[in-house]
Amino acid sequence: PDDRWVEPVANAFNMHAGLEPVLKPMTPVAEIAIIDPATTLRHWAPEKRPQAELNDLGFYQALVEARLPFEFLSDQVMTAAALKRFKVVILANATCLSDAQCQALRDYVAAGGSVVAAHETSLNDEKGKARADFGLGDIFGVTMTSPPRGPVKNSYVALNGDHPIAQGFGGTERIIGGTQLIAVEPTTKVDLPFLTVPDFPDLPMEEVYPRLPPQGAGVVARTTDAGGRVVYIPWNIGEVFWTYLAPDQGRVIANAVKWALGKAPEVEISGQGVFDVALHESEAGRALCLLNLTNPMMMKGPLRETYAVGPLTVTIDVPAGRLLANVRLVVAGQDVPFSAKDGRVTVELASIETMEVVHLVWS
């Protein structure tokens, strides 16, 4: 005898009924893919799987906060053809990769694709056997000089120069580093936006000070011969961000992905709030889905209440050769004014409660 469930379920189905005609003929067109490391995860016992996924969760959180549309792609179907439609591929901690999987990534980079990778990615083969060095070392532009170690305490990385990945940290010369570290050295021309601060004791208090100046690669960035960009982070940045949610690590991830993208993202949103952003496309138009996650427990799942956000300014790329006829807010059920300039359309949204879909219709 509890009818409280009826209204929210009816509301959800009604929203889906309104969205389906718009989204059903479309396909996702995100420029960014996070590789789901199935080959790595199958080596973990089910009860320990949450520990293995911490790095992926950290990158997920960082990209959501950065309002970047992205998709997941299983490494089981990670062929060069499957990777081709993405501009940036993210390997948060794909420890186990076969030679064939590494070659698919190598072919993708050779064709101009960009990669952001971290920690132990490609150190083991698909059977979990350790390699002597990274399977993707030629892509990362580094070689391993010391194997993974940790947990490490008092770990920091220091800003180094004015590289875009090191922007936005005004007021500090260093940020928290990893609890699991790998020592690497460049094998080709690279930039080092961050240097490692050699770790030091955390107790007793009088011993808590750095012994040596920043040295060694904390973040590695390079431009490939094919015009793509590669970022390698030799520590567990995703896990650290997910565990502590200190904004600096999220900014490093977002900066790295945006730099690897090499251009303005296809979608830019200004205004307060946290959104899961997805971009879909068909021959008839584009649809930007904005799911409002603005809630203290947004990653837990069940929400007691949704917090409406707005106003927002949304800018979306218009593909070359397309002429825009009108813009409609599907959930609100209304056409809205827009402005178009330099191949991008800008729309103002007064408010979003749960979700809105900005539908661009081609003429």
The Cα–Cα gap between 132 and 146 comes to 10
pLDDT averaged over every residue in the chain:
95
Interval 167-194 mean pLDDT: 97
Tens of pLDDT, residue by residue over 333-360, are 999 999 999 999 999 999 999 999 999 9
The Cα–Cα gap between 220 and 135 comes to 16
Bridge-partner residues for 118, per DSSP? 233
Interval 245-250 mean pLDDT: 95
Tens of pLDDT, residue by residue over 203-219, are 899 998 888 999 999 99
Nearest to 69 by CA among 309, 299, 287, 333: 287
The Cα–Cα gap between 286 and 322 comes to 11
Nearest to 179 by CA among 203, 144, 154: 154
Interval 85-96 mean pLDDT: 98
- pLDDT for 303 equals 76
Q: What is the pTM of this model?
A: 0.95
Tens of pLDDT, residue by residue over 51-63, are 999 999 999 999 9
- pLDDT for 298 equals 80
Interval 89-101 mean pLDDT: 98
302 pLDDT higher than 90: no
Mapping DSSP to helix (H, G, I), strand (E, B) and coil, where does residue 230 land? strand
Interval 284-306 mean pLDDT: 87
Reported for 8-16, long-range contacts at CB under 8 A and 24+ positions apart, including other chains, are: 15/331, 15/354, 15/355
pLDDT more than 90, % of the chain:
92
Interval 321-339 mean pLDDT: 95
